[in-house]
Amino acid sequence: MSLLQIFGEALDSLAANKVRSALTILGIVIGVAAVVAMLAIGQGAQDSITGSINGIGTNILFVFPGNQEADVRHPRPLTMKDANALADSLAAPSIQAVAPVVNAQAQVAGGGEKRDVSVNGVVPAHQQVRNETLTEGEFIGETHLNGRASVAIIGPDTAQALFGRTTGLVGETIRLNGQPFRIIGVLASKGGGSMGNQDDRVLVPLTTAQSRLVPERDGNVDTIFVQAVSAEAIPQASEEIAQILRTRHRTEIGEDDFTIFSQQDFLSMATTITGVLTVFLGGIAGISLLVGGIGIMNIMLVSVTERTREIGLRKALGARRRDILVQFLTESSLLSLLGGLLGIALGWVISLVVGRIAAASSTPLNPQVGLNAILLSTLFSTAVGLFFGIYPANRAAGLEPVEALRYE
């Protein structure tokens, strides 16, 4: 019997029980669609996070206070003096710019509205280091910093929420925790990401934040962003930062009370986390594929029982064990293959819908259905059909012709 004949007979057999075949295929469709959709969403999340980190710049270092890997008894906080020491070109020739930041949460009021926002106390170099652009107005300057000026730059989401517009806001007044601040600029949109919503925030001079918003921190800073002269200079810049801070904090090597992260560190961490999440989600979705495979086995066993006399007749007419085995394996594989193809299409539709919903809610998520997910789902669904079809096929092939013909 040729493969074409076997394939044709398998189609005829499945078509004879359309409803039962359709319900069996449905289990595989749901399983494959879940796997494709979960892998696509996981890939989209990974792309979003890594894209957000890449947008920061390839030559940026992050310096944080504290060190979880070292048991430091009395860690010293990061201060403006530390930032000024890092900005010394003689001590750190690989460093191009330094931008310390103070972070705070505050209630902002303006235009008759109120909301809680993230407030960053920044210095003029912050614009260069963090690649900040404005749609109108000016950035915080040395005059604002030295005079502890009550000025602010607001993000577009904050502006829209408070004033219902993102233009013509320079000169308007907002209140941060009840204190008046004059708007001098509006940030260009950056979107949300792993670093939080960059469009819903307020920037003020660092000295103003330290004296008026978080005076309890006594001049300490939360993070120091350091821009190296180039991406290639990152290792040398990191070593210069470590040496300067060790000297200032009087710590030994291995007992640092600070932590230095590069963009590559964040990328590796984010890739690892999203990779584990994707595998986890794909594994959960794969369980439904196994359930679909069990459904195929059940249906094929029923089919063997119903077609016992047919099997006996075929054997009596000269059909070999191999012919019967191939026939039933072809039917089970065809069920899973059809389910796999339909599942891929359904998974793509689900991914598309999730992407549209994310876009409508301003969430930076664009699910990506990759070729590897399609191939994996197709091969896995076919393998499920073969695996769960082996037992029914063996049972059919092992029937004795005489007993099969006597079966009622």
Look at the block and give the residue holding tokens 């009370």.
Answer: 257
C-beta neighbour count of 390 within 10 angstroms: 16
End-of-domain residue from the set 211, 234, 256: 256
Q: State residue 169's pLDDT score.
A: 93
271 — alpha (psi -120 to 50), left (phi > 0) or beta?
alpha
How far apart are alpha carbons 326 and 397 in whole angstroms?
9
Beta bridge partners of 110: 113
Domain match, 143 and 214 both: yes
Task: List Cα–Cα distances, 256 to 99, 130, 153, 233, in angstroms.
Answer: 21, 26, 35, 22
The beta strand positions in 215-289, using DSSP E, are 220-221, 223-228, 258-262
**Is 333 a domain residue?**
yes
The beta strand positions in 130-178, using DSSP E, are 134-137, 151-154, 173-176
Domain match, 284 and 400 both: yes
Structure tokens at 170: 């320079």
**Is 218 a domain residue?**
yes
Q: State residue 266's pLDDT score.
A: 67
Structure tokens at 367: 């699910």
Report the percent of the chain where pLDDT is more than 70. 78
Q: State residue 190's pLDDT score.
A: 77
Task: List Cα–Cα distances, 16 to 19, 22, 329, in angstroms.
Answer: 9, 11, 17
**Is 88 a domain residue?**
yes
In terms of DSSP bridges, do strands 151-154 and 179-187 run parallel, antiparallel, or are they unpaired? parallel
Range with the poorest average pLDDT among 206-210, 243-247, 287-291 = 287-291
**Is 323 a domain residue?**
yes
Domain match, 24 and 159 both: no
End-of-domain residue from the set 197, 228, 256: 256
Instruction: Indicate the pTM of the whole model.
Output: 0.61
More confident residue, 214 or 43: 214
Domain match, 213 and 76 both: yes
Domain match, 146 and 242 both: yes
Q: State residue 72's pLDDT score.
A: 60
**Is 262 a domain residue?**
no
- The range of the structural domain enclosing residue 95 comes to 67-256
Per-residue pLDDT reduced to its tens digit, 318-363? 667 677 777 777 777 787 788 888 888 898 898 888 888 887 776 6
Query: 3-state class of 96 per DSSP?
Result: strand
Per-residue pLDDT reduced to its tens digit, 215-265? 877 778 999 999 988 878 888 999 999 999 988 888 876 678 888 887 777
**Is 357 a domain residue?**
yes
Domain match, 225 and 89 both: yes
Domain match, 186 and 324 both: no
Report the percent of the chain where pLDDT is more than 90. 28
Q: State residue 387's pLDDT score.
A: 75
Domain match, 288 and 382 both: yes
Q: What crossing angle do the helices spanning 3-16 and 18-54 adopt, rounded to 10°?
A: 100
Q: What is the mean pLDDT of the chain?
A: 80
**Is 60 a domain residue?**
no
Question: In the predicted model, is pLDDT for residue 69 greater than 70?
Answer: no
Per-residue pLDDT reduced to its tens digit, 135-155? 999 999 999 999 999 999 999
End-of-domain residue from the set 202, 235, 256: 256
**Is 261 a domain residue?**
no
Per-residue pLDDT reduced to its tens digit, 95-130? 999 999 999 999 999 988 999 999 999 999 999 888
Question: In the predicted model, is pLDDT for residue 73 greater than 50?
Answer: yes
Domain match, 154 and 251 both: yes
pLDDT band at 194 (very low <50, low <70, confident <90, very high): very low
Domain match, 87 and 209 both: yes
CB 59 within 8 A of CB 231: yes
More confident residue, 208 or 255: 208
CB 331 within 8 A of CB 7: no
Domain match, 74 and 187 both: yes
CB 329 within 8 A of CB 390: yes
Per-residue pLDDT reduced to its tens digit, 153-190? 999 999 999 999 999 999 999 999 999 999 999 999 87
Domain match, 38 and 126 both: no
State how many domains the chain has. Answer: 2
